[in-house]
Structure 1
Amino acid sequence: MTRPGDETPPEADPHQGPFESLPSSVPDDDLVDTFRLPGEPARSTEAAPVHPDGPAAPSPEDHAAGQAGQDPAASAGASGPPHDGRPAGQGVSPGPTDDSDGAPAAGSGDRRTSGAGRRRDEELYAPGEEPREVDPDDAGWSLLGAQDDREDAQGETEEDPVAAERRRLRRRRRLRGIIVIGVLVLVIGSILSRVIGGLLPGDAADYPRTSGDTVTFTVNDGEGAILIGRRLEEAGIVASAEAFRQAAEMSPGKHIQPGEYDMQEQMTAEDAVESLQGAGRGAVAYVAVNRGERLQEVLDSLAAATPHDRAEFAEAVSDPQKYGLPEQATTVEGYLASGEYRLPLKDSAEDMVRALIDPTFAELEKMGVTDPDEQFRTVTIASIVEAEALPDDYPMVAGIIENRLKPDNRETDGLLQIDATVIYGLGERRLQFSSAERRDKSNEYNTYVHKGLPPGPIGAPSLKAIDAASKPKENDYYYWVTVDISTGETKFAKTYAEHQKYQDEYRAYCRENPDIC
């Protein structure tokens, strides 16, 4: 038997390549793992076919020995150095143990395999380019995680806790990305469904018939069919805003005017559209006449709220006497009572004007003023009171006007001297006027130069002003002036000297509040 150390090294195999005899201090598995492309899994350490000019492939005997779990050298009975010529214990991985199931140990593999793998890695780089070491964290990421799965498969047998933590973080990052993208898809899909569904015609909910009690619905200025439909749906008048919108688009009717409409608790979309466009039974227009508003301003409001234009209303008021006004009335100014009105849209322009005049005559008759000429005088005084005083001072100011109109008046000598009448004659809206305008006799409404009442009313009086003009409060005053516009504070005087002091207070107020005066 040959003892260890006595045997002589075997002769060099002529079939071995020049690299087989070169010692290496780098483990084969490090070479394979180091020289791989980003995203490429670790290569197997099993023997690969060898280039014809390179090292010889393992012999059938070696392969059989490997299958039996033995080192080829050991199966031949050799106890000397390994076949690559290195001393024992250097660069040679021990064979598998009996409990390894015949699989090569981690990191094992012969020189021929590692050399071929290294050459294949080097061929993937440009000439002169140094192979790059790849950071596992920069190996790439995909939504489906194919790269991570390959890395996980390679590292299933590893015990490195850092690698395990990296795999866990990659899985979490992949799952979080899938969840975020899924949520975005759902949100975008929902939005597109709503938008496309709103553009395409469909079977929108609608009531089968119109029924229920009468309800009032207000259309505000500037509202279109879409907004009106939403509000009708919220009120329960129509089953859906979409059905109303579709009915409005299909309707050949007129534009929906602002105003209040008498509708029913539940209406089909078609009936609702017809009602708001004036074809229904309860369509009305809302018109507000403010206290002191002038005739031309009222006509503008009527034209804006009703189907009739400005010219129709101008024609309707061109003949005051057809409404019962006396011959001295050249217009219906002052007879259009202030208040809120709901005028049926089917009414003519003349019917609508009459609806605004009727309350004035009703109030005059209520106060016992039935003579047409006396009615005209009362309405004229009421319009002045409305323009010059606050409601609480109406009766007092009406009494002062009567004092100035008395024949024995020596304080103003029959002149009313009221600013509101002068400004009305100028056709403007302001609080002050010039000295020249005060002396202007061409202004028929200039009560500083023309005695008695002006030619007619100067605005729309409220019913309370008509009552005050019908029943003025007796007093000894001849003058009044509002010294504070914001609060309405008014001071009364019996003489002109006293009145001048109060006028100074008013002028001081205006200097301090030029934006108000």
Structure 2
Amino acid sequence: MKPKRAADSDDLDDFFAEPDPGHASRRFGPDDELGEDDFDAEPGERVAARAAEDDPDDDPEATRSLDAEEQPDDDDEDSILGLGEQSQRGAGSRWKSVIAVLLSIAIIGGGGYFGFQKASQAWTSFRGVDYDGAGDESTSVLVTIREGMTITEIGDTLAANQVVASSRAFVRVASGDGRSNSIHSGTYQMRQHMSAQAALDVLVDPANLATNLVTVPEGLRDSEVFTQLSQMTGLPVSDFEAAAKDTDALGLPDYAQDNVEGYLFPETYTYDPADSATDVLAKMVDQFKQVAAQEDLVDKAAALGRSPHDVVVVASIIEKETTNFDYGPQIAEVFYNRLDKGVKLQSDATVIYANNMSGRITTTDEERAIDSPYNTYVTDGLPPGAISNPGRDALHSALNPTTGDDMFFVAVNPDTGETKFAATEEEHAANVEEFQEWCRANADRCDEED
């Protein structure tokens, strides 16, 4: 769906004509993932309309509630966008500066299509493009509006989730519509690629607040997912176990090898009380496929010389090995280096899975000796399937490994997730000693000083 302009200006229309159709632009996924912390505010609590960005102590007029009688003039874009008198006087020079900067971006960006893309994206943000219509029926997304959000923050959230084309388009529409005062905090089921007006129409109607929400966190194995879903929906665990076996009905990707483990994407979902276990799991599989497409799973896996399934398995191990995904790509590097050199992965996370344990940091010699294809201390290569259902961060890490010679890693501080890497056993031994020091200081957290 092609965006339309929300502001009229012809300064760069020729420059920003459509690029060569042979060059497809990349579609980016939402930056924000919903978690349990996003639902602190009770649905129905009114969003306090705060002023956008300025310090009220510096300028009392810069901050005011949208409840105030004075509303911006629909035809005065500068007032809607919060431009002061001085800014309005300098509008002409500002346009010249913006045009110069955008042209510079095109040049600095290397020219050609990629230079065009950078400048076009900057111009899109500045102008506040908008979509037409009520959005794509096939691309729904849950958006959480927190109590106290400004109109700008709401616009940013909508844009980040691809609901609207730009935050500025939403700000323009919402700032000129008194109904914005009635936006309530809570979670809304919305479509992607909606016009700003259509998005506002959804948010101002409390009937659109999502109910019957189910949140599945990252890193759960299938049995844990089924238990949680059963508790939230009232459906028996056995229903989910049976539904998981009918992979065709769930729409599982062919590369998943008829195993839902790893493909039940952790997210917050709405469910209808009439939904069956198959309906619920199918939503999770569909969400995985959407995220996989956004992350370009198939093509990036091929570029790494891996199958999509192998990447999902690696992601599932990364999900359990770290709580700090700043280290995720480097952990992926270690795993791929060991696979390429025929060295066993020796991941404690796989041992914990093979022994059907949870909540453990370390493992014992006996546990590491278990005869299981999932025990990477005794088997070569990857486990036959995922050991958890990974989230976006873990999947992104598995698809974007760093490049280097590291062969070992250890989380030296499990509380912070601080992780150290090594290319040699000697370096790794020093890092392990640092972890053991942490264990000695946290004896109740470690089962064995490895």
State the TM-score, normalized to the length of structure 2: 0.49
Higher relative contact order (CA 8 A, sep 6+): 2
